[in-house]
Structure 1
């Protein structure tokens, strides 16, 4: 009975988690200071090695929980990175996931042990190894996904204002959106349920809160997002 494949090199498999958050004003990325050599104390994505008895999704959820205290958040597998020299210590393949969270909702759950810090998406520092490349690929995937599915609502609280929603899309697509067209299109879409409450933190007049109508988004979200992804 053969217990191992003959003449095959052992390769490590790691998980890296890209955590995007939105605080109502800024789209941000959560990074940590690397705790081990090489490049100790430099900025890094959150990651770790997969356990012997874990599948990929299970490892990603465990690592996310251990390093941040986060669980039950939107988590999607992005890509695998396997350049032979990507890790200077040992041959390591990294399977990358990205998570989307409302920063304010999970603020108290973030684990402080690894000194995590939120950076505005345009001010992310140089990260170790190929982590900057991973973040860019994640942003490209999010833009593509957001044109097909309402994944950006994972970054918002259950109730939000139109300005918050518009600001989020402008930051994700890095492009301004005409305010009047945005309000007209989003109102006509029927995707949002207007609430009686107002957010008066920015002005006396305030802005009404809305909620996503999850029953309608599957049928109508495509036409709405075709406008969002091609702002005029």
Structure 2
């Protein structure tokens, strides 16, 4: 038996120079054939943490993914069946780590697909509002969390790093000022390696120095 609240999952990744969010194409009413965040009802006797893991797997095929609670949404008109509260969770995944694993295992969803954050379709329920809220939180966290680096491969170029910042902030950054600011943080470790397999001049690769970051924040 189902409870009267749901779980919705905001899952971000970065590919092709853009921030993406994972959406499901719904196969059930209400909003049949619409795109929506992966989400569903929590069972009556189910712990919320267990529900998050179940719904995430059933609607995306992903498991063993840490999900951070974003907040509750309970607008009167958010659901056609009346006031049904949802608790939203969010996470960031590396695209290459999950691209072959995305596959819903429930008939409630027809498919799962990545959409660039600036090219989203019209969404069911209040899911556009939930995504907007999660994006605001992601922007605020840029200076005190490792979230931005979770979107990148282990080794990355400064151009890739700037692209991620621009994707999250939704605006272009001056290249010289950005690189100066990043260099001043001291969080990047320059590697004796360059890009491979590119047709243009290969750029220097870097790694995120997590220990220096944690030490500066006093959490070493």
| TM-score bracket for the superposition, by shorter chain length | 0.7 to 0.9
Rg: which structure is higher? 1
Secondary structure at the aligned position of 1:78 is classed as strand
1:146 maps to 2:138: no
Deviates more, 1:189-198 or 1:99-108: 189-198
Counterpart Cα distance in 2 of 1:166 and 1:24: 13
CA distance in 2, matches of 1:202, 1:26: 19
Structure 1 unaligned segments of length 5 or more: list them.
1-9, 223-232
Asked if 1:96 is matched to 2:88, the reply is yes
CA distance in 2, matches of 1:80, 1:90: 16
Tell me whether 1:45 sits opposite 2:37 in the alignment: yes
Shift of 1:199: 1.3
Q: 1:64 to 1:11 in 2, by over 3 A?
A: closer
User: Can you list the C-alpha shifts for 1:186-220, whole angstroms capped at 9, x where unaligned?
Assistant: 22322112222221444543112221111111244
Equivalence for 1:5: none
Note if 1:210 corresponds to 2:206: yes
Matches within 5 A, 1:25-36: 25-36=17-28
CA RMSD after TM alignment: 2.2
Q: Aligned ranges for residues 18-167 of structure 1 at < 5 Å?
A: 18-23=10-15, 25-111=17-103, 114-167=110-163
CA distance in 1, matches of 2:185, 2:94: 24
- CA distance in 2: counterparts of 1:44 and 1:78, whole angstroms: 17
Q: Would you say the 8 A contact 1:11–1:91 is kept in 2?
A: no
> 1:230 corresponds to which residue?
none
Between the aligned partners of 1:128 and 1:82, the Cα distance in structure 2 is 15
* 1:157 to 1:24, Cα distance in 2 relative to 1, 3 A: farther
Q: SS where residue 184 of structure 1 aligns?
A: helix
The DSSP-based 3-state class of the residue aligned with 1:215 is helix
**SS of 1:160's equivalent?**
coil
What is the aligned partner in structure 2 of residue 185 from structure 1? 181
The structure that is helix-richer by fraction is 1
Structure 2: distance between partners of 1:70 and 1:144: 26
Could you state the TM-score of these two structures normalised by the residue count of structure 1? 0.83
Unmatched 5+ stretches in structure 2: none
> Separation in 1 of the partners of 2:206 and 2:52?
32
